[in-house]
Amino acid sequence: MEQKTNNSKEYIIGFISLAVLVLLILGIFLLTGNEQRARTSSETVAKETEIASILMPKEIALPVIWSDYGKQMIEQGVIDKEKFESLYEKRGGLDPETRKLLFESNNREIVITQQNAGVLLNVLWAFGLSNKNMILEEGPMMDPKYGGAGRFASTGGWSIARGNAMDHYSKYEFVTLTPEQQRRVEEVSKNIYRPCCGNSTYFPDCNHGMAMLGLLELLAANDTTEDEMYTIALGVNALWFPSTYSVLAQYVSENNLNDITPKELLSYEYSSASGYRSVLAKVKPTNIQGGAGCGV
């Protein structure tokens, strides 16, 4: 009888020990699972925040040394000082920072904001038009079927130079790129589209394309990596086309495309005129704003 009681006690103790072990394992599993879910949720939020900050930026510090390029463009006549100032007098005048970029030396980085995006679009347009580059001299702009490079909005539309815009086309070596830097500009420019048309920056037939080409040349000259160039270009496009990229931000959020890259968002599928229309047809926009047009 005593042996049976002892056996029963041992059985109960063993059962309790097993139950405690199971509960301990279950607790560890649940705790680990919660930590993993919390970590995954945190990473998802971080990615959403990162994409949103790129697609809807307030300002971007461009990692370039601007030096006296504005002053050089005015001296060469790429920008006619009087015409430029007259144009912006009608728009409230040039802000102090833009005046510094245009008229002074020893400028360093450029900060592009929602407020100055339009005027810096024109400054970079002038730079892209006039800086000597093989893309302008041997790329699609020179295809004979178009009847000459002077027939595009990015060239014929530049009306605030001294003389004809084509007098300054790919003429000045403001920045000279190494073969590797040039390769980088060509590679990246072929993958960056703009919502006002269906061409990449490699075919800069409008002001946005020519300005982006100028920006890519500056970035490459300052040894910016390809990934960094795509991220910066996406942010700048978003400042030039806020309506378009607020819709793309909404589309990315609604479809949980948190792993999408800036390069993908700049592709024909999303950032060309037809790509944007395709996205727009799939969402109900909640935040439509204006954007810079294709003239000065």
Q: What is the pLDDT of residues 102-134, one digit of tens each?
A: 999 999 999 999 999 999 999 999 999 999 999
C-beta atoms surrounding 67 within 10 Å: 16
Per-residue pLDDT tens digits for 183-209: 999 999 999 999 999 999 999 999 999
Token pair 């009306």: residue = 159
The string of pLDDT tens digits covering residues 6-39 is 555 555 555 555 555 545 555 554 555 555 544 4
Task: Tell me how far apart the alpha carbons of residues 126 and 110 are, in angstroms, rounded to a whole number.
Answer: 15
Q: How far is CA 120 from CA 99, 116, 236, 279, 289, in A?
A: 11, 6, 10, 28, 19
Q: Is this model's pTM higher than 0.85 or not?
A: no
The helix or strand, by DSSP H or E, that contains position 271, with its residue range, turns out to be helix 268-271
If you search the block for the tokens 């998802």, which residue do you land on? 44
Q: Is the pLDDT of residue 63 over 80?
A: yes
> Is 67's pLDDT higher than 60?
yes
* C-alpha separations of 74 from 25, 65, 172 in Å: 74, 18, 12
Instruction: Tell me: pLDDT of 41 over 50.
Output: no
Q: Rounded to the nearest 10 degrees, how much is the dihedral formed by the CA atoms of 257, 262, 264, 266? A: 120
pLDDT averaged over every residue in the chain: 87
Q: Which two tokens stand for residue 162?
A: 């001294």
Q: What residues form DSSP beta bridges with 110? A: 62
Percentage of the chain modeled with pLDDT above 90: 76
pLDDT for res 226: 98
| 151 pLDDT above the threshold of 90 | yes
Enumerate the domain spans of the chain: 59-280
Q: Minimal CA–CA distance to 240: which of 194, 206, 277, 296?
A: 194
Predicted pLDDT of residue 38: 42
Mean pLDDT in residue range 239-260: 95
pLDDT at 235: 97
Beta carbons of 170 and 137 less than 8 angstroms apart: yes
